Amino acid sequence: MGERTSGEEPAPAPVAAEAITLASAPVERRHRRAVWVAVLLMGALFAVAVPFAKRPLGALPAFLPLFQSALIACEAITGVLLFGQFRTQRSVALLILAGGYFFSAFMAIAHLLSFPGLLAPAGVIGGGAQTTAWLYFGWHAGFPLFVIAYAVARRQQAVARSDTEPAAGLAPAMFLGVVTLVAGLTVLATVFEASLPVIMAGHLDAPAKAVVAHATWLTGCVALVVLLARRPPVLLDMWLIVVMGAWLFDVGLSASLNHGRFDLGWYAGRMFGLAAAVLVLVKLLLENSALHRQVLALRDQERRRAAERLRSSERRFEAIFEQAPVGIAHVSLDGHWLQVNTRLCEIMGYPAEELKRCTFPDILSPGGRAAAQALRRQMLAGQIERHTEERRYVRRDGRVVWVRVRTALVREADGAPAYFVSVVSDLTEQRVAEDKVHVLNREMARMAQLEVANQTVTALAHELNQPLSAVSAAATAARHMLHAGHWSEARLAVMLDGAEQAALRAGQVLQDMVSFINQGKVSSDPIDINGLLSALMDRYRHNHAAADYTLRLELQPDMAPVLANRLRLEKVLTNLIDNGIEAMLDRGARGEACVTVSTRAEGATAHVRVADAGPGLDPASAERIFDPFFTTKTNGLGMGLAVSRAIVESHGGHLWAESPADGGAVFHLTLPLAAP
């Protein structure tokens, strides 16, 4: 896992899409060095040209058309390439810069068409003697403004990405804005030429031109400062610094330091302008070439990695297939074994080559073959996606094995059936173990039934012995009294009452046992739980007026009735109250014994709480207190709480107990409220 096999290529580091473009590549030391070398070289050429800037050279008719055409082509192509990067990166800053280059191209066209004596004596688009100069200054002052806007947008959104329509919709708006701006400047310089200050006297500079030229040059300086102040810069920013440097040298030689048209400064400045236009274009073209090489290299590398992943996947599949703890087989659509693993051969008892020479139905019984063919037809018809069954197989050596077979149909990419995959698990040992468990379970169930019967008979014998003995003793005493001839009605009545009470006690024991065994549903009616508890409390106070305990009721007023059988519910509540009283009196809590019964509504159920001040429940007893025949009393059957829980659950409620940390026991009873 952690080692790389020989011949395997290391995975290439992931490359972000924007990290290989000029508009977002980080600036390295070599880039800074190249930029400053270019700036210093242009500065040196500028310094050499300055002393000779006003030297007249004469008009070269072919120069301006050739220069301007090359400039227009470079600016337009650069704008297109930048616009392409905007569509990739969704950067508004790149869209602004692309608009600046389109602006420069369109202004260069307007400037060329307005130049006097070039294509027409007064220029193609008309105007006057000042039109060409004003278009030049509008052009050279406008482009730096686009660069400033680009830098500000970069600072705010650092190659911001957006896949939403509003960002894409900015492109038409930007293009329309550029065209409108160029058209407006052209109309201003032609139609309103007479209203503009005079900056040209023929081909020579007028005095006012210096102010306009210096203002234009200052705009370029501001753009250069904004670019230098951006942190951290990207590679495009560095080359824009070179462009703005060339732009300043262009304006300086062509408009500020020269004397007029066709002198050395005029020609040299335009060469700086052409250099500024070519510079970014060349870098973008080189970048596109490098990007294409990277894409080809990444494609070849991805192909090699895909092939290696495929080989690795095949090796993993073979390892999983052969080392799987279950049998795996690929079966053709007509039932022939295509591929089987070692475990399947072990389960079936056939060598792999022998299995491949036969079909899947060949190893089945006649009945199994018919079922297999029916299953095959259903899966091919699309009626069943996968199938699982357990069946017996007879191995080659005659031994019977139990197996679980999971079968699925594998389809081609177009949905056509390809082959079946079967996973076979050996269940023989599991079946043997299950058979043993079933035998043990039956034996344990029989023993449990005997034990329950034994406990029941023992408990019944114990509980019935006392009342029956009392009945027998009363009957014997009455008989002796009658035989002796000195009897009285009062004494006979006492004996008969005692026999009756003992018989009733025996009947109650039998009734509790029957109630627990027959936990069927009983008829239920809406019962006023608060009224039932109040009646029970009155009965206790009447029958036990001198008892050493107190009963307290805490009833929620306006309780909705519960749905229950009144006699059964009264039996449960009486049992819980009696248990609390007995626990407290056994503890010897005379005068302090108090049983508190409270009610409250909780959603669609009524909650009854019976709390006593007895010794509480120890953990061992708390876990078994509701088990049949379990009791902590010396003379109890252990059926009271078991029967009570059975009654409550037959009404759809719950009964449980807890022992608070401050002592005593609390029994909780919930019952559903009757529908309003």
**Sign of the CA dihedral running 246, 252, 254, 257:** negative
CATH number of 445-517: 1.10.287
307-339 confidence digits (pLDDT tens): 888 888 878 877 777 778 888 888 888 888 888
Q: Which pair of structure tokens corresponds to residue 75?
A: 């600016």
Longest dimension (CA), the chain: 172
What is the spatial distance between Cα 342 and Cα 352, in angstroms, rounded to a whole number? 8
- Residues with Cβ within 8 Å of 13's Cβ and at least 6 positions away in sequence, in order, are none
Tally of CB atoms within 10 A around 531: 12
Q: Report in angstroms the alpha-carbon separations of 217 from 55, 223, 247, 525.
A: 21, 10, 9, 101
* DSSP letter (8 states) at residue 12: P
Q: Which pair of structure tokens corresponds to residue 653?
A: 């409620």
Backbone angles phi, psi at 488, to 5 degrees: -135, 155
What is the spatial distance between Cα 644 and Cα 574, in angstroms, rounded to a whole number? 10
**Count of alpha carbons within 13 Å of 286, Cβ hemisphere only?**
8
Could you tell me which of 51, 43, 53 has the C-alpha nearest to residue 256? 53
Q: pLDDT value at position 147?
A: 93
- Residues with Cβ within 8 Å of 37's Cβ and at least 6 positions away in sequence, in order, are none
Tally of CB atoms within 10 A around 332: 13
429-439 burial, b for 16+ CB within 10 Å, e for fewer?
Answer: eeeeeeeeeee
Q: pLDDT value at position 635?
A: 56
For tokens 């600046």, what's the residue?
100
CB 338 within 8 A of CB 49: no
With 0-12 / 13-18 / 19 or more C-beta atoms within 10 angstroms meaning exposed / middle / buried, residue 676 is exposed
Could you tell me which of 77, 117, 93 has the C-alpha nearest to residue 280? 77
Helix axes 640-650, 489-517, angle to 10 degrees: 50
Helix axes 235-251, 131-157, angle to 10 degrees: 160
With 0-12 / 13-18 / 19 or more C-beta atoms within 10 angstroms meaning exposed / middle / buried, residue 102 is buried
Q: pLDDT value at position 178?
A: 93
Q: Which residues of the chain have pLDDT under 50?
A: 1-19, 159-166, 520
Cα end-to-end span (Å), the chain = 68
Q: pLDDT value at position 607?
A: 94
Q: Report in angstroms the alpha-carbon separations of 434 from 347, 392, 430, 438, 446.
A: 19, 16, 6, 6, 18
Q: pLDDT value at position 513?
A: 62
What is the spatial distance between Cα 313 and Cα 318, in angstroms, rounded to a whole number? 9
324-426: which CATH topology? Beta-Lactamase (3.30.450)
Write down the architecture of domain 525-672 according to CATH.
Answer: 2-Layer Sandwich (3.30)
Could you tell me which of 150, 118, 149 has the C-alpha nearest to residue 131? 118
CB 330 within 8 A of CB 419: yes
Could you tell me which of 31, 23, 139, 25 has the C-alpha nearest to residue 82? 23
397-412 confidence digits (pLDDT tens): 778 788 888 888 888 8
Q: Report in angstroms the alpha-carbon separations of 543 from 247, 493, 538.
A: 116, 22, 9
* DSSP letter (8 states) at residue 256: I
Phi-psi region of 465 (alpha: psi -120 to 50; beta: other; left: phi over 0): alpha
**Count of alpha carbons within 13 Å of 82, Cβ hemisphere only?**
27
Could you tell me which of 382, 388, 420 has the C-alpha nearest to residue 404? 388
105-138 confidence digits (pLDDT tens): 999 899 888 888 777 777 788 788 888 889 989 9
CB 47 within 8 A of CB 40: no
SS3 labels along 636-651? CCCCHHHHHHHHHHHC
Q: Report in angstroms the alpha-carbon separations of 589 from 292, 547, 548, 634.
A: 97, 12, 8, 19
What is the spatial distance between Cα 223 and Cα 248, in angstroms, rounded to a whole number? 10
CB 90 within 8 A of CB 21: no
